[in-house]
């Protein structure tokens, strides 16, 4: 409407919108079942329906959003079975990523992980659900980036994305009083260079958080 510069120097509008929504979904800023409309998002972001459509289509393809029979999109309300599957995927993939990262995990990385863990503790203290999820995922992503395995990491992030709204709904009501205890075990295994222990710690960390989800009556 205002500026008709169809291809800005930076990134395309649909791509910016995609990234923004993806981030919001992954860290749990949206609750399960929240509806999104093309015109609503378009007006909200000052663009036309076209880029919104592309961004949503992309997110639906990744499982970040679900599509009703009539084409409406909303954040997913996961069934118990689906949560179990996603937890199983995390338990399969993330130990592998951590093992691949291990040979390249030096002191500087472990220090950064510790710092993220501290920020996580602060989010816990402030009862900040979104902050908790974000720092938790940051912890894992920072470690896995060292694996130099972008394709595997992408799958892991897709799983996180699908769990985003559900994680928020859970962590929003479960009273937490400390950061994940398994994070310390992960750090210890990294320092020791102990791959079996690392795999176990990562698997425990990943399945522990999600065990609670499936137990509640979703």
Partner DNA sequence: TGGCGGGATTTGTGATCACATTCACACGCG
Partner DNA sequence: CGCGTGTGAATGTGATCACAAATCCCGCCA
Q: Which residues bind DNA (CB under 7 A)?
A: 1, 4-7, 12-15, 36-40, 47-51, 53-54, 68-73
> Total binding residues for its own copies by CB under 8 A?
32
Give the DSSP H/E element, type plus range, for residue 91: helix 80-101
- Cβ count near 66 (within 10 Å): 17
Which of 16, 45, 53, 203 binds its own copies (CB under 8 A)? It is 53
82 binds its own copies (CB under 8 A): yes
103 is an interface residue for its own copies by CB under 8 A:
no
Q: Which residue, 26 or 123, has its beta carbon nearer to its own copies? A: 26
Between CA 163 and CA 56 the distance in angstroms is 17
Residue 38 interacts with its own copies (CB under 8 A): yes or no: no
Both structure tokens of 27:
């860290």
How far is the C-alpha of 164 from the C-alpha of 160, rounded, in Å? Answer: 6
Alpha-carbon torsion angle 112, 113, 116, 120, nearest 10: -160
- Chain residues that interact with its own copies, rule: CB under 8 A: 12, 14, 50, 53-54, 57-63, 71, 81-82, 85-86, 88-89, 92-93, 96, 148-152, 154-155, 158-159, 162
């Amino acid at each position: 409407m205002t500026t008709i510069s169809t291809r800005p120097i930076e990134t395309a509008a649909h791509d910016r919108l995609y990234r923004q929504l993806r981030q919001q979904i992954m860290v749990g800023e949206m609750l399960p079942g929240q509806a999104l409309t093309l015109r609503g998002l378009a007006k909200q972001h000052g663009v036309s329906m076209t880029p919104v459509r592309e961004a949503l289509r992309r997110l639906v393809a990744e499982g970040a959003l679900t599509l009703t029979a009539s084409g409406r999109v909303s954040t997913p309300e996961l069934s118990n079975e689906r949560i179990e599957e996603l937890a199983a995927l995390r338990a399969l993939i993330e130990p592998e990523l951590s093992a691949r990262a291990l040979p390249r995990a030096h002191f500087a990385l472990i220090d950064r992980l510790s710092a993220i863990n501290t920020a996580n503790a602060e989010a816990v203290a402030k009862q900040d659900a979104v902050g908790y999820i974000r720092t938790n995922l940051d912890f894992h992503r920072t470690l896995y980036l060292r694996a130099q395995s972008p394709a595997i990491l992408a799958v892991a992030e897709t799983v996180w994305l699908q769990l985003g709204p559900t994680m928020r709904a859970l962590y929003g009501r479960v009273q937490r009083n400390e950061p994940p205890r398994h994070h310390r075990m992960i750090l210890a295994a990294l320092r020791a260079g102990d791959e079996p222990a690392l795999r176990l710690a990562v698997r425990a960390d990943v399945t522990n958080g999600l065990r609670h989800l499936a137990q509640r009556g979703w």
